């Protein structure tokens, strides 16, 4: 078990070692470790070596000039200058917060960025200001649209954080696929098979072997099968891709640069880097905060009391599980797999740090 602050300090030191400013490094470390705190282990410190490899391949600019390239009172387009998405995301949310204070809501499409960690972090960033936060991103092509055997979309997550009153905030954060790619990696480590509806092989047949993805297979959109509405998952992934990629001038669809540095970046990109889309909506641009929060409490309390199928499994509010995990891990520390520990020790050696 590792205290989360120790992991944050280590990540911050690594980000400084690749050339980030102390401020940026701390921010990136906070976003990364937030994933571990929330139990999204696939997006936390386990990814640190991936970011380092991208930097080694010249694909991460540690001192980006993050700049506004176009704006109106409620919109902004940002060029991330190939910086860490972990740094670009929170900085954009802070810009949106200011703009939403002025005109009620604000929306950003971002190009020339990299992987931004968990979408939920960015959406939650405006909760203290009593705003609804929204974050989405396109990602490495791993997902086949309905009726296709070709990987055309990323897992393209959507996050929305909505403040409540006495109740904790509603925080939805989910890939627009049946499962996140991280779950396939977990199956692989545990030498288990995937259930129906997660992956297909290179010919488009239902597959169960986690290695199928490395052999040209694909993840399936949310809905899994055409008769269960997989075209709706495809629509959602496509909407995220267009808002993040096409609206900003980033790459989109199969052109999105892969996170893993051993896969080649397209020779003929259609845009710059990968793209994100963010939003911030002031609650009191719609209704009094008090009335809204009171109704959110009623919403949450009523849904929590919805009759369960099995008494042992009560109905969850989006964000419940992650909040429990955060509390537990802030107290007891964050567990790391041996493979991740070894990975972090290698990075420590590389940069003459201690882990």
- Site for a second copy, residues 269 to 308, rule: CB under 8 A: 270-271, 281-283, 285-287, 291-292, 295-296, 298-299, 302-303, 306-308
Residue 129 engages a second copy in binding (rule: CB under 8 A) = no
Q: Name, in order, each residue with C-beta under 8 angstroms of 183's C-beta and a sequence gap of 6 or more.
A: 42, 198
Binding-site member from 316, 324, 337, 339 for a second copy (CB under 8 A):
316
Neighbours of 325 (CB within 10 A): 17
* Binding letters toward a second copy, positions 326-355, x by CB under 8 A: ------------------------------
Angle at 47 between CA 45 and CA 51, to 5 degrees: 115
For the segment 37-56, give every residue that binds a second copy (CB under 8 A): none
Q: With respect to a second copy, which residue has the nearer C-beta, 29 or 236?
A: 236
Least distance to a second copy, CB of residue 272, Å? 12
What is the distance between the alpha carbons of residues 188 and 184, in angstroms, rounded to a whole number?
A: 6
Residue 95 engages a second copy in binding (rule: CB under 8 A) = no
Residue position matching structure tokens 């288990």: 192
Binding-site member from 39, 42, 59, 75 for a second copy (CB under 8 A):
75
57 exposed, middle or buried (CB, 10 Å; 0-12, 13-18, 19+)? exposed
Segment contacting a second copy by CB under 8 A, of 17-25, 84-92, 233-241, 342-350: 233-241
What is the distance between the alpha carbons of residues 236 and 253, in angstroms, rounded to a whole number?
A: 13
Least distance to a second copy, CB of residue 321, Å? 10
Residue 227 engages a second copy in binding (rule: CB under 8 A) = yes
For the segment 96-125, give every residue that binds a second copy (CB under 8 A): 102-107, 109
Least distance to a second copy, CB of residue 347, Å? 33
What separation in angstroms does the CA of 138 have from each of 70, 80, 111, 164? 20, 14, 10, 29
Q: With respect to a second copy, which residue has the nearer C-beta, 57 or 192?
A: 192
Q: With respect to a second copy, which residue has the nearer C-beta, 69 or 339?
A: 69
Residue 172 engages a second copy in binding (rule: CB under 8 A) = yes
What DSSP string describes 214-275?
GGT-EEPBTT-SGGGTHHHHHHHHHHHHIIIIITTT---GGGSPPSSTTSPPPSS-SSSSEE
Least distance to a second copy, CB of residue 126, Å? 15
What phi and psi values does residue 334 have, to the nearest 5 degrees?
-105, 125
Please say whether the beta carbons of 22 and 30 come within 8 A.
Answer: no
Residue 229 engages a second copy in binding (rule: CB under 8 A) = yes
Q: Name, in order, each residue with C-beta under 8 angstroms of 34's C-beta and a sequence gap of 6 or more.
A: 44, 117, 118, 120, 121
Nearest Cα neighbor of 26 from 39, 18, 16 is 16
Least distance to a second copy, CB of residue 42, Å? 15
Residue 147 engages a second copy in binding (rule: CB under 8 A) = yes
Binding-site member from 52, 119, 139, 238 for a second copy (CB under 8 A):
238
Binding-site member from 53, 59, 208, 232 for a second copy (CB under 8 A):
232
Residue 148 engages a second copy in binding (rule: CB under 8 A) = yes
Please say whether the beta carbons of 231 and 223 come within 8 A.
Answer: yes
Least distance to a second copy, CB of residue 92, Å? 13
What is the distance between the alpha carbons of residues 153 and 240, in angstroms, rounded to a whole number?
A: 10
Least distance to a second copy, CB of residue 195, Å? 5
Three-state secondary-structure class, residue 160: strand
Segment contacting a second copy by CB under 8 A, of 32-40, 59-67, 171-179, 326-334: 171-179
For the segment 205-224, give every residue that binds a second copy (CB under 8 A): 222-224
- Token pair of 40, please? 């999204």
């Amino acid at each position: 078990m590792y205290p989360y602050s120790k992991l944050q300090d280590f990540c911050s030191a690594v980000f400084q070692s690749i050339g980030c400013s102390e401020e940026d490094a701390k921010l990136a470390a906070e976003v990364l470790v937030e994933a571990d705190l929330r139990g999204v282990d696939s997006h936390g410190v386990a990814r640190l070596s991936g970011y380092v490899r991208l930097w080694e391949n010249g694909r991460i600019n540690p001192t980006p000039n993050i700049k506004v390239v176009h704006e109106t009172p409620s919109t902004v387009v940002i060029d991330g200058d190939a910086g860490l998405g972990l740094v670009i995301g929170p900085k954009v949310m802070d810009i949106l917060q200011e703009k939403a204070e002025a005109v009620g809501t604000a929306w950003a499409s971002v190009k020339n960025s990299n992987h931004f960690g968990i979408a939920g972090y960015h959406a939650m960033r405006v909760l203290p200001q009593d705003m609804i936060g929204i974050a989405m991103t396109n990602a490495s092509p791993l997902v086949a649209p309905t009726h296709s055997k070709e990987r055309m979309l990323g897992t393209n997550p959507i996050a929305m954080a909505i403040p409540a009153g006495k109740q904790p905030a509603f925080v939805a954060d989910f890939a627009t696929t049946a499962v996140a790619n991280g779950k396939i990696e977990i199956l692989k480590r545990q030498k288990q098979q995937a259930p129906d509806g997660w992956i297909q092989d290179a010919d488009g047949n239902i597959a169960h072997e986690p290695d199928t993805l490395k052999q040209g297979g694909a993840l399936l959109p949310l809905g899994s099968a055409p008769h269960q509405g997989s075209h709706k998952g495809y629509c959602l992934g496509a909407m995220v891709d267009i808002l993040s990629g096409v609206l900003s001038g980033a790459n989109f669809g199969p052109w999105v640069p892969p996170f893993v540095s051993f896969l080649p970046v397209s020779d003929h990109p259609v845009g710059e880097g990968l793209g994100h889309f963010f939003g911030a909506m002031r609650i009191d641009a719609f209704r009094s905060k008090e009335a809204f929060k009171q109704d959110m409490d009623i919403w949450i309390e009523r849904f929590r009391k919805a009759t369960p199928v099995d008494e042992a499994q009560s109905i969850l509010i989006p964000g419940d599980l992650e909040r429990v995990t955060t509390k537990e891990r802030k107290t007891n520390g964050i567990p790391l797999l041996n493979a991740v520990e070894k990975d972090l020790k290698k990075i420590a050696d590389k940069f003459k740090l201690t882990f």
